[in-house]
C-alpha cells in the first residue's frame, strides 16, 4: 500500500464510522472495496489486519454498534469477508469475536436491518469472499448458514437471490472432491459467458473439509430434491432459482459431485419435464444440456439424461418446444439425433406458414404439426415463435447435410416466401396457412427477423443461384411505401451481404439493376434522414464490397446501371442532416478508392468534390462531417501510397498536386478545428506524411496504421504508444542532406505545426497522439542519444505564431518575451540560429511570431516527461486510491462542518 494511503486510512475509517448517513457519492464505498480487494489479492501473507489495525477496529465497531448507515454496514460485511479470505486474517477476526456477529442473520434481524437488501447482499458477498479455506467452511457449517443461504435463493431482490445462488455454487464447486479423472470442461465455453463465475479451481475436499463439505452437500441436495418441482401451478420462482443453481453446478461439477447431483435431481427433473411448465423451459433445458454434456464427456451418455433431453424435445406446448430446440442449438448440438430433431422443430413454423415443405412429404412424423398450427393462429405466439425460428435458420443451414431435412436453398425460399407474405403477397405460398398470414402481414418484428435471417443465409452452401430471387424480394422491400427505416436498413444490409458473396453479376438481370437504381434514387431523397443515411451508407458499402472482392473496376457502376453513385453522393453532401453528410463523404471515399489505387489523374468531378469537402471542413457546424472529410483524405493518401511501391524520394513528385495541396489545407484547418476527433484524425494524416517522408530512413519505424484498420469513419482512436528506438547511427553526408530536405518539406507542409499545436491541446487524446508523433519525429531527426544533429538538419527552422498554441509552446520552451526579442535580434543580424530567409521575413513582419529551430524545439519540449503524464492521463487524479481517500476525508470534513447550511448541501441530482 502506498505510504500516503497508509497515513490516510485510519482517518477514512473514522469518517465512515462517524457518518450517520451515506456518503454523498454512492460509488465511493464500492471503489474503496475495489482498492482493498486489489491489496488483499497482492497480500499473500494475509497480514493486512495486522499492519493496519484501524481496519479491524472499524469492522468491529460497525458490526457491534449496528448504528451506521446500511451502505456502510454492507461495505463492512464485504470487507470483513475479504479480510477473512486468508487463514491468518480469519483467525484474527475470530479472535476479535467479529465473525460470529458479522455473519449472524439474527444479529442484523434484531437490529431491524435485515430487511434492507444491501445488508443481505453484503452478508452474502462477505461470505463468498471469505470461503476460500477450510476454516471458513467449518465456520459456515457450524453457524448453520447453508439453510439461511438457501432461503435467500427466493429473496424478493433479484440481486440477492442471484448472489445466493452464485454463493452456493461457489462452495460446492470450490471445495468439491478431487478425483483423478480430469475435470469436466464440456459446455464450459457457454458457462464462461455467465455473469459471475464460480471458480472451479479450489483446494478440493481434504480431511479437514470433507465432513463440512458433506454437510453442505447434504442440505443442498435435500433442498434440490424438495424444491425443484413447483408446489403450486403459479409458484415457479423457487423452482426457477433451484434450476439455475443446478445449472451452475452441473456445468462445472467433477464426477463425484456431478454424479451425486444427478442422482439427487433425476426424479424431480423428470417430474418438472413431465409437468411442462412454460416458465421453466429455458432453465430446465440449461440443466438438461449441462447434465447431458457432462455425462457425454465421460463417453457414453447417461441414459436417464438422454431420455430427459428427448422428453424436452417432445413437449406438448409448441412455444416451449421451439424454445427448447433453440436452446439446444445455441448451446452447441450434443448429438446428431437430437440436433436433427431440434432442426425439424425449428423449421416447422416456417414450413407451416409458407407451405414450402421444408420437412419433406412425410410430415406425419411431426406430431406437433396440429398443435403448432393452432398456436400460430394466435398473433402473439405466432410472431414470437416465427422470430425464434428465423433467428436460428442461418445456423441450421450451415449444419451437416445429413442433419437437415431439406437443402439450404429451400430454407432461403421459405424465408423469401415469408417476406412476401409479410408485405401482403401470398401468391408464392399457395400451400401456406392463410389463417396465419394475417398475423405476420405488416409485422415489423417478423420482417426484421426474416431480413436478418436472409442476410445470414447468404453464406449457406448452394444458395448463390438464388441471388436474382433474393434481390427481387429485397428491392420490393426497398420500394415498399410502408417500410420503416429499420426494415429498409436491414434490406440494404441483406443486399450488400448477398452481393458480397455472389459478386458475379451474371447472376443478376438488367431489370433488377434498373430497379435497384430506381429505388436507390428514390430513397436517397427520402423524407426520413435515417433512410437517406442507410441509402448513402449502402452505396459506400457496395463500392467497398466490390473493390475488396477485386471485381471489375466499374462493377458498382454497372450494378447500379450507370446511375453514378458518385453523383448521388455529391448531392448528399448538401444534406441537412450531418450524419448523412458524413456518411456521404465516407461513401465517396469508398467509391473512389479504386481509381485512387490505380493512380489515375483526378477528374474534374473529383476536383469539385475536393473543393466541396474542404468547404465542409472549414464551414460545417457538425463534427461528424468534418471528421469524415479528414478521414477521406487519409483514405486517399494511404490508398495511393499503399498501391504503389515507389521509393520515398520519388513519391511526393508522383503524387497528385491536388491531393498534396489539399492535404496542406486539411492539416491547417483540421488542427484548428473545435472537435477533438477531427484533430486526432488530422494528426493521423500528419503521421502518414511522416511515414512517407521518413520511411526507409534509419531509426524510423512506421507507426501502427490504426486509421486503416478502423471499422468506420468515426471510430475511437486506440492509444498505442509508439516504439522508441535507439540508434546506432552510421552517418553519411548524403543521407543527412536528404533528411534535411525532407524535414524542411514537412515543415512547409505544416506537419510540424500540426504536431506542436496538438501537443498543447486541452483534449488528452489529441496531445497524447501529438506527443507520440513528436517523439518519433525527434528520434528520427535528432535522437537524444546523439549529442548534436548534423548541421543541415539542425538548421531547419519553423515559425511559432505569437498567439494560441504558438504562445503555449514558447512558454513550454521557457522563452520569455525578452528571449523572443533576443532571438529576433539575432535573426535580424544574420546570426547562426536561422538560415531561412522566409523565416527572417516572417519574424520581421509578424512582430509576434518567432522562428525556432526544429531540432532544438524537439529536444527542449520535455516530450518524454510529457508523454508519461499524458499516458497517466486525468486518471491519475480520478482513479488513484489516494484521490479516493482524500475525497472521503474531505467529504467527511464538509459533512461535519458546523457552518454547513442546509441550502448549500450538494444534492445528488441528474447529469
Partner 1 sequence: MPEIKVTPLGAGQDVGRSCILVSIGGKNIMLDCGMHMGYNDDRRFPDFSYITQNGRLTDFLDCLIISHFHLDHCGALPYMSEMVGYDGPIYMTHPTKAICPILLEDFRKITVDKKGETNFFTSQMIKDCMKKVIPLNLHQTVQVDDELEIKAYYAGHVLGAAMVHIKVGSESVVYTGDYNMTPDRHLGAAWIDKCRPDILISESTYATTIRDSKRCRERDFLKKVHESIERGGKVLIPVFALGRAQELCILLETFWERMNLKAPIYFSTGLTEKANHYYKLFITWTNQKIRKTFVQRNMFEFKHIKAFDRSYADNPGPMVVFATPGMLHAGQSLQIFKKWAGNEKNMVIMPGYCVQGTIGHKILNGQRKLEMEGRATLDVKLQVEYMSFSAHADAKGIMQLIRMAEPRNMVLVHGEAVKMEFLKGKIEQEFSIDCYMPANGETVTVTTNPSVPVDISLNLLKREMALGGPLPDPKKPRTMHGTLIMKENSLKLVSSEQALKELGLNEHQLRFTCRVQLQDPHSDPDTLHRIYTHLKSVLKGYTIQHLPDGTVMVESIVIKVSSSAEDPNTKVLLLSWSYQDEDLGSFLSTLLKKGLPSGLC
Kindly state the smallest distance separating residue 306's Cβ from partner 1, in Å: 23
Q: How far apart are CA 469 and CA 512, in angstroms?
A: 10
Query: What's the CA gap between 807 and 246, in Å, rounded?
Result: 68
Nearer to partner 1, 160 or 253 (CB): 160
Query: Would you say 591 and 565 are in contact if contact means Cβ atoms under 8 Å apart?
Result: yes
Q: CB 104: neighbour CB atoms within 10 A?
A: 16
Query: In angstroms, rounded to a whole number, what is the distance separating the alpha carbons of residues 594 and 250?
Result: 55
Shorter beta-carbon distance to partner 1: residue 105 or 489? 489
Closest contact distance (angstroms) between CB of 755 and partner 1 is 17
Residue 112: CB atoms within 10 A of its CB come to 9
Q: Which is nearer to partner 1, 445 or 698 (CB)?
A: 445
Minimum distance, C-beta of residue 447 to partner 1, in the bound complex (Å): 12
Q: Given the complex with partner 1, which of 133 and 489 has the nearer CB atom?
A: 489
**Coil, helix or strand for 131?**
coil
Residue with cell 525556432: 852
Give 715: exposed, middle or buried? Use CB within 10 Å, 0-12, 13-18, 19+: middle
In the bound state with partner 1, the residue whose beta carbon lies nearer, of 485 and 699, is 485
Measure the CA–CA gap between 33 and 10, rounded to whole angstroms.
15
Shortest approach of partner 1 to residue 583 CB, angstroms? Answer: 8
As beta bridge partners, residue 799 has 851
Tell me how far, at minimum, the Cβ of 219 lies from partner 1, in Å. Answer: 26
In whole angstroms, the minimum distance from the beta carbon of 783 to partner 1 comes to 24
Q: Which is nearer to partner 1, 100 or 808 (CB)?
A: 808
Closest residue by Cα to residue 582 from 572, 591, 592, 590: 572
> Least distance in Å: CB of 360 to partner 1?
29
**Torsion sign, CA atoms 338, 339, 342, 344:** negative
Q: Which of 809, 788, 799 is nearest to 736 (CA)?
A: 788
What is the smallest separation between the CB atom of 582 and partner 1, expressed in angstroms?
8
Contacts of 415 (CB under 8 A, 6+ apart): 350, 390, 393, 450, 453, 454, 457
Smallest gap from Cβ 67 to partner 1, in A, equals 15
Q: Which is nearer to partner 1, 73 or 717 (CB)?
A: 717
Tell me the closest approach of the beta carbon of residue 333 to partner 1, in angstroms: 16
d(CA 715, CA 709): 10
CB 338 within 8 A of CB 310: yes
CA distances, 223 to each of 136, 240, 261, 262, 264 (Å): 22, 13, 11, 14, 10
Would you say 440 and 422 are in contact if contact means Cβ atoms under 8 Å apart?
yes
Cα separation, 615 vs 602, whole angstroms:
18
DSSP reduced 3-state for 447: helix
- Closest CB to partner 1 among 109 and 511? 109
| CA dihedral (713, 716, 717, 720) positive or negative | negative
Q: Residue 888 CB, nearest distance to partner 1 (Å)? A: 9
Give the three cell numbers for residue 190: 457457454
Distance of CA 277 to the CA centre of its chain: 36
**Which residue stretches of 398-458 are H helix?**
408-422, 434-440, 444-457
Q: Quick one: which of 775, 632, 627 has its CA closest to 701?
A: 775
Which whole-number Å values give the CA distances from 444 to 342, 487, 663, in the listed order? 26, 7, 46
Q: Which is nearer to partner 1, 312 or 693 (CB)?
A: 312
Closer residue to partner 1 in complex, CB, 405/881: 881
Residue among 330 and 643 whose Cβ is closer to partner 1: 330
E strands, 500-578, where?
Answer: none
Beta carbon nearer to partner 1, 98 or 756: 756
Q: How far is the CB of 307 from partner 1 (least distance, A)?
A: 24
> In the complex with partner 1, which residue's Cβ is closer, 467 or 635?
635
Under a CB-based contact definition with an 8 Å cutoff, are residues 404 and 394 in contact?
A: no
CB of 527 to partner 1, least distance (A): 13
Q: Which is nearer to partner 1, 486 or 659 (CB)?
A: 486
- Minimum distance, C-beta of residue 47 to partner 1, in the bound complex (Å): 28
Query: Residue 25 or residue 705: which is nearer to partner 1 going by CB?
Result: 25
Q: Which of 60, 72, 94 is nearest to 20 (CA)?
A: 72
Which is nearer to partner 1, 554 or 875 (by Cβ)?
Answer: 875
Q: Determine contact, residues 740/792, Cβ cutoff 8 Å.
A: yes
- Nearer Cβ to partner 1 (100/577): 577
Q: Write the CB contacts of 101 (distance below 8 Å, at least 6 apart in sequence).
A: 63, 64, 107
- Calpha distance 162→151 (Å, rounded): 12
118 or 793: CB nearest partner 1: 118
Bridge partner residues of 851 (DSSP): 799
| Nearest distance from C-beta of residue 536 to partner 1, angstroms | 12
- Residues 605, 626: Cα–Cα separation, whole Å: 20
Least distance to partner 1, CB of residue 448, Å:
7
Q: Any long-range contacts for 301-307 (C-beta under 8 Å, 24+ apart)? A: 301/334, 301/335, 302/262, 304/262, 304/266, 305/262
Shortest Å, Cβ 551 to partner 1: 26
| CB atoms near residue 307 (< 10 Å) | 15
**How far out from the chain centre does Cα 530 lie?**
24
DSSP 109-126: HHTT-TTSHHHHHHHHHH
Closest distance to partner 1 from the beta carbon of 763 (Å): 6
Q: DSSP assignment, residue 197?
A: P
Amino acid at each position: 500500500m502506498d505510504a500516503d494511503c497508509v497515513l490516510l486510512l485510519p482517518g477514512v475509517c473514522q469518517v465512515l464510522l462517524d457518518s450517520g448517513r451515506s456518503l454523498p457519492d454512492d460509488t465511493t464505498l464500492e471503489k474503496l472495496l475495489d482498492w482493498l480487494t486489489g491489496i488483499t489479492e497482492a497480500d499473500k501473507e494475509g497480514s493486512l489486519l495486522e499492519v493496519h489495525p484501524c481496519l479491524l477496529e472499524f469492522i468491529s465497531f460497525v458490526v457491534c454498534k449496528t448504528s451506521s448507515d446500511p451502505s456502510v454496514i454492507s461495505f463492512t460485511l464485504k470487507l470483513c469477508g475479504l479480510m477473512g479470505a486468508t487463514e491468518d486474517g480469519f483467525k484474527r477476526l475470530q479472535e476479535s469475536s467479529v465473525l460470529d456477529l458479522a455473519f449472524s442473520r439474527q444479529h442484523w434481524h434484531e437490529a431491524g436491518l435485515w430487511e434492507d437488501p444491501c445488508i443481505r447482499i453484503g452478508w452474502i458477498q462477505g461470505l463468498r469472499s471469505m470461503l476460500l479455506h477450510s476454516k471458513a467452511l467449518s465456520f459456515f457449517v457450524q453457524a448453520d448458514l447453508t439453510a439461511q443461504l438457501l432461503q435467500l435463493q427466493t429473496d424478493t431482490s433479484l440481486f440477492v437471490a442471484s448472489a445466493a445462488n452464485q454463493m452456493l455454487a461457489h462452495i460446492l464447486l470450490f471445495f468439491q472432491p478431487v478425483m483423478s479423472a480430469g475435470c469436466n470442461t464440456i459446455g464450459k465455453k457457454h458457462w464462461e459467458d455467465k455473469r459471475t463465475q464460480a471458480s472451479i479451481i479450489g483446494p478440493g475436499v481434504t480431511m479437514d473439509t470433507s465432513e463440512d463439505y458433506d454437510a453442505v452437500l447434504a442440505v443442498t441436495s435435500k433442498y434440490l430434491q424438495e424444491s425443484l418441482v413447483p408446489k403450486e401451478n403459479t409458484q415457479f420462482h423457487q423452482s426457477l432459482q433451484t434450476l439455475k443453481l443446478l445449472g451452475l453446478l452441473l456445468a462445472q461439477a467433477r464426477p463425484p459431485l456431478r454424479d451425486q447431483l444427478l442422482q439427487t435431481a433425476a426424479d424431480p427433473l423428470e417430474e418438472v419435464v413431465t409437468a411442462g411448465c412454460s416458465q421453466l423451459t429455458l432453465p430446465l433445458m440449461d440443466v438438461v444440456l449441462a447434465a447431458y454434456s457432462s455425462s457425454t464427456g465421460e463417453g457414453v451418455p447417461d441414459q436417464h439424461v438422454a431420455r430427459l433431453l428427448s422428453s424436452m424435445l417432445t413437449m406438448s406446448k409448441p412455444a416451449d418446444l421451439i424454445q427448447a430446440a433453440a436452446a439446444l442449438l445455441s448451446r452447441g448440438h450434443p448429438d446428431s439425433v437430437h440436433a436433427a430433431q431440434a432442426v425439424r422443430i425449428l423449421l416447422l413454423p416456417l414450413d407451416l406458414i409458407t407451405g414450402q415443405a421444408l420437412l419433406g412429404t412425410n410430415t406425419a412424423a411431426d406430431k406437433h404439426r396440429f398443435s403448432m398450427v393452432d398456436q400460430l393462429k394466435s398473433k402473439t405466439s405466432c410472431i414470437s415463435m416465427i422470430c425464434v425460428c428465423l433467428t436460428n435458420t442461418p445456423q441450421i443451414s450451415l449444419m451437416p447435410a445429413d442433419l437437415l431435412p431439406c437443402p439450404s436453398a429451400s430454407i432461403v425460399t421459405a424465408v423469401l416466401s415469408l417476406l412476401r407474405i409479410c408485405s401482403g403477397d401470398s401468391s408464392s405460398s399457395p400451400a401456406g396457412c392463410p389463417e396465419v398470414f394475417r398475423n405476420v402481414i405488416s409485422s415489423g418484428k417478423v420482417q426484421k427477423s426474416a431480413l436478418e435471417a436472409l442476410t445470414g443465409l447468404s453464406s449457406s452452401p448452394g444458395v448463390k443461384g438464388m441471388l436474382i430471387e433474393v434481390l427481387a424480394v429485397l428491392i420490393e422491400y426497398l420500394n415498399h411505401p410502408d417500410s420503416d427505416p429499420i426494415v429498409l436498413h436491414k434490406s440494404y444490409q441483406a443486399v450488400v451481404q448477398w452481393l458480397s458473396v455472389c459478386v458475379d453479376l451474371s447472376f443478376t438481370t438488367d431489370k433488377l439493376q434498373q430497379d435497384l437504381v430506381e429505388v436507390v434514387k428514390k430513397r436517397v431523397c427520402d423524407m426520413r434522414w435515417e433512410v437517406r443515411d442507410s441509402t448513402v451508407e449502402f452505396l459506400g458499402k457496395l463500392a467497398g464490397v466490390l473493390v475488396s472482392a477485386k471485381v471489375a473496376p466499374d462493377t458498382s457502376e454497372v450494378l447500379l446501371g450507370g446511375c453514378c453513385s458518385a453523383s448521388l453522393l455529391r448531392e448528399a453532401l448538401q444534406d441537412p442532416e450531418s450524419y448523412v453528410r458524413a456518411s456521404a463523404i465516407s461513401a465517396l471515399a469508398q467509391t473512389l478508392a479504386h481509381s485512387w489505387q490505380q493512380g489515375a489523374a483526378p477528374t474534374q468531378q473529383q476536383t469539385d468534390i475536393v473543393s466541396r469537402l474542404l468547404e465542409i471542413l472549414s464551414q460545417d457546424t457538425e463534427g461528424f462531417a468534418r471528421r469524415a472529410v479528414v478521414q477521406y483524405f487519409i483514405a486517399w493518401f494511404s490508398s495511393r501510397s499503399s498501391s504503389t511501391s515507389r521509393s520515398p524520394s520519388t513519391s511526393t513528385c508522383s503524387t497528385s498536386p491536388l491531393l498534396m495541396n489539399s492535404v496542406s489545407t486539411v492539416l491547417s484547418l483540421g488542427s484548428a478545428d473545435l472537435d477533438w476527433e477531427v484533430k486526432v484524425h488530422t494528426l493521423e494524416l500528419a503521421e502518414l506524411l511522416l511515414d512517407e517522408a521518413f520511411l526507409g530512413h534509419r531509426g524510423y519505424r512506421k507507426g501502427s496504421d490504426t486509421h486503416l484498420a478502423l471499422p468506420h469513419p468515426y471510430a475511437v482512436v486506440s492509444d498505442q504508444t509508439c516504439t522508441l528506438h535507439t540508434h546506432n547511427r552510421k552517418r553519411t553526408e548524403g543521407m543527412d542532406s536528404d533528411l534535411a530536405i525532407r524535414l524542411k518539406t514537412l515543415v512547409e507542409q505544416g506537419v510540424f505545426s500540426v504536431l506542436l499545436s496538438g501537443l498543447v491541446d486541452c483534449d488528452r487524446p489529441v496531445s497524447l497522439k501529438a506527443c507520440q508523433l513528436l517523439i518519433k519525429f525527434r528520434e528520427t531527426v535528432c535522437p537524444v542519444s546523439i549529442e548534436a544533429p548534423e548541421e543541415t538538419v539542425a538548421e531547419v527552422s519553423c515559425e511559432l505564431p505569437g498567439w494560441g498554441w504558438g504562445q503555449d509552446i514558447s512558454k513550454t520552451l521557457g522563452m520569455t518575451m525578452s528571449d523572443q526579442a533576443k532571438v529576433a535580434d539575432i535573426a535580424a543580424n544574420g546570426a547562426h540560429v536561422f538560415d531561412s530567409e522566409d523565416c527572417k521575413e516572417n519574424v520581421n513582419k509578424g512582430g509576434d511570431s518567432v522562428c525556432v529551430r526544429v531540432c532544438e524545439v524537439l529536444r527542449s519540449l520535455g516530450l518524454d516527461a510529457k508523454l508519461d503524464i499524458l499516458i497517466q492521463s486525468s486518471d491519475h487524479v480520478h482513479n488513484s486510491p489516494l484521490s479516493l481517500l482524500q475525497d472521503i476525508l474531505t467529504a467527511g470534513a464538509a459533512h461535519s462542518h458546523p457552518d454547513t447550511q442546509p441550502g448549500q448541501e450538494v444534492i445528488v441530482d441528474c447529469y
